[in-house]
Chain A
Amino acid sequence: MNSREQILSDIRILKIDNSELPTIPQFEYEADIIESFKTSIKTNKGEIISEEALMDLLESGEFVNVYSASEPYSKYSNCSLPEDPHELKNLDLAIIEGYFGVGENGAIWLDDSKLGHRVLPFITEHLVIVVDKKTIVPNMHEAYERIGQAHSGFGVFIAGPSKTADIEQSLVIGAHGAKSLRVLLI
């Protein structure tokens, strides 16, 4: 018997009585989900920025290598998506559009179709995600309802910048991934 058969038969032999799968009810939520989204992003050490602030930032010259997957800001892109994702290693700023946001925790859903390269939102030094206010859902249950059966090879909820507290529980922003997350609500 190979290991697959062995494991499955070791389980089957136990003949465990079926325990019913519960159904997830509808939960109530805070009325102002946009406000709770903003608060959540701030709690996660991200930042909500206005369009003007983003423009200022882009024009400040602070970021040398910029890539925008978001059409309105593509004129600030000064590099195109390389064939090999390793070449993104010097990227200073990426601007991406999120599918939707989640009020209760600030998570923003992105998938292959928005990313170009899966490593993009991680390898970039700084990250801006553009989120349409109308897309914000209250909680994770509605988030998965919204994703539905959509098929993407990779999808990710990003809720803040890369962070760690592994040294004496002191919070440090910028561990391995993006050192900042700015969210532009439109």
Chain B
Amino acid sequence: MNHPVQAAKFLEDKSNAKWHDETLWFVRDKRDLSSKSIPEWEKLRELASGIKDNVLSNLDSYLVEFEKNAIKNGIKIHWAKDAEEHNQIVLSILKEKDCKAIVKSKSILTEECHLNPYLEENGVEVVDTDLGERIVQFLNQPPSHIVLPAIHLKKEHISEIFHEKLQTEKGNNDPYYLTQAARKHLREKFLAAKMAITGVNFGVAETGEFVVCTNEGNADMGVHLADTHIACMGIEKLIPKREHLGVFLRLLARSATGQSITNYNSHFRSPSEGKEIHIILLDNGRTKQLGREKFRNSLKCIRCGACMNTCPIYRRSGGYSYGSVVPGPIGSILSPGIDLKKHSTLPFASTLCGSCSDVCPVKINIHEQLYEWRQEITKAQSSINAKSIAMKIANGIFSTPFAYKISGQIMRGSLKILPESVTYSNLNTWGKERDLPELPKQSFKDWYKNKGNE
């Protein structure tokens, strides 16, 4: 997968690309407004980051505690080393219940495991129930954004798919009309399902409970009507105590969409009578990432999507250009850990402006890790190609921590106030689509000095 090549394809449809860019920036703006309404916002980010650091430094004992409490609550716990084992566990539960269909709410983890194709190959019908996910499922596509799965599609396109799949009126593009059609269609699926799969936003070690947040209510419609609920959870999703949910629920929705909280925040502790809850705890490379000191704290991610909405590259290249399950800045530091060769262009899909790190609710130093990955990749790549030349130039700028910090500050400061053309680094392929900046009359250093004297 080559990010610049894919991005160029995305940019071919100029009006769509513009819409994508502006819409995500609008979401980012909402996040800003929402976060500014809380005076202690920065303190909350620090707390969230600190809590997750504590979790990552004691992950084994929290996992054991979580397991013990969940079992006490009547939940069945499974452990999966990798995606294959994860999928096998899901299938074995389905077989045990003699079940041939499932409803599934949003779970990036099951995307990561490619659960849908696996189950389909084994004769199981999988219905994604989040509206955006259902839309992309109809198209046989993965989500292009972790919070807004169908953000790359226009309503005309969605209307066409619904006309074909749900027999809606041809040419009726009204979002309300289309949503109601999906509601009706999915109600039937919810009422018929015997088994439901959800992801997990947070698992609480102290109580053995887990929390799932949605706005649509699809996770709850699925699990409460089904007999069996399977919750698929990465081992990094733990938090120590219930009281910590207060911190994370204040941050999550505000960072994601600018809402103060998602409309449904469900806490599952034990199954209702006669029903079953299973939790699958998945590693799939997470312990490896934990062992990489420089990249460890990428595991703090709560999947809010804020780093995508703010990223000038993501907004202008679309989720698919990344070719990884989690796209955007965070995906670009997670994916190389899984397959360095396949994802070697991703750490370069960034201006290193640092905006991602600035908005991240758990304070992951995303742009610094992107830079670190560039170093790793430069080391790993021996052949000279265009990219490595670009890297050499980049190395000039970024070779000392000081220069790097300063350049980050320029980027950060300039992102909002300078014209678009200046906010793009011309060091790599990204320059192609951009106007070249006019030569500045003075260097930054000089300008900075003079400015100090003003």
Contacts and interface: CB of A to CB of B under 8 A. Distances in A.
B272 A24 contact: no
B263 A163 contact: yes
Interface in A30-52: 40, 43-44
A89 B46 CA distance: 44
Interface in A144-186: 144-145, 147, 149, 151-170, 172, 174-178
A21 B247 CA distance: 13
A20 to B, nearest CB: 7
B249 interface: yes
A18 interface: yes
Interface in B46-86: 46-47, 50-51, 53-54, 56-60, 63-64, 73, 79-81, 85
Interface stretch (B174-182, B314-322, B431-439): B174-182
Contact of B60 (A8, A153, A154): A8
A79 interface: no
Given A22-B47, A155-B267, A175-B216, A3 B80 contact: yes
A7 B235 contact: yes
A143 B272 contact: no
Contact of B246 (A21, A24, A44, A174): A24
B328 to A, nearest CB: 17
B188 to A, nearest CB: 10
B160 to A, nearest CB: 12
Interface residues of B, number: 89
A114 B147 CA distance: 31
Contact of B221 (A107, A163, A169, A176): A176
B269 A143 contact: no
Interface stretch (A55-63, A65-73, A118-126): A118-126
Contacts of B64: 8
B264 A158 contact: yes
A19 B57 contact: yes
A6 B220 contact: no
Contacts of A141: 243, 246-247
Interface string B79-112: 1110001000000000000000000000000000
Interface stretch (A9-17, A92-100, A128-136): A9-17
A164 B178 CA distance: 11
Given A105-B260, A141-B243, A167-B158, A175 B179 contact: yes
A164 B179 contact: yes
B148 to A, nearest CB: 7
B50 A22 contact: yes
B154 interface: yes
Interface string B129-144: 1111001000000000
A2 B79 contact: yes
Contacts of B242: 144, 147, 149
A174 B60 contact: no
Contacts of B39: 27-28
In this complex, the member of B43, B60, B190, B245 whose beta carbon has the largest number of chain A beta carbons within 10 angstroms is B60
Interface residues of A, number: 72
A159 B217 CA distance: 11
A53 interface: no
A162 B215 contact: yes
A169 B245 contact: no
Nearest to A166: B132
Interface in B156-209: 158, 175-176, 178-180, 182-183, 186-187, 190-191
Contact of B247 (A24, A107, A119): A24
B354 to A, nearest CB: 23
Contacts of A10: 283, 287-288, 291
B394 interface: no
B40 interface: yes
A164 B287 CA distance: 35
A155 B218 CA distance: 16
29 contacts: A3-B80, A7-B79, A7-B281, A16-B58, A21-B50, A21-B51, A28-B39, A40-B260, A86-B191, A104-B38, A117-B224, A122-B221, A123-B225, A139-B246, A140-B261, A144-B246, A152-B267, A153-B268, A153-B269, A154-B269, A164-B215, A166-B130, A166-B149, A166-B150, A167-B178, A172-B175, A174-B180, A175-B217, A177-B216
Interface of B: 23, 26-27, 38-40, 43, 46-47, 50-51, 53-54, 56-60, 63-64, 73, 79-81, 85, 129-132, 135, 148-151, 153-155, 158, 175-176, 178-180, 182-183, 186-187, 190-191, 215-218, 220-221, 224-225, 235, 240, 242-247, 249-250, 257, 259-272, 281, 283, 287-288, 290-291, 296
Interface of A: 2-4, 6-8, 10-12, 14, 16-22, 24-25, 27-28, 40, 43-44, 85-86, 89, 102, 104-107, 112, 117-119, 122-123, 139-141, 143-145, 147, 149, 151-170, 172, 174-178
Q: Which 4 A-B pairs have the closest CB atoms?
A: A177-B217, A119-B224, A166-B132, A105-B260
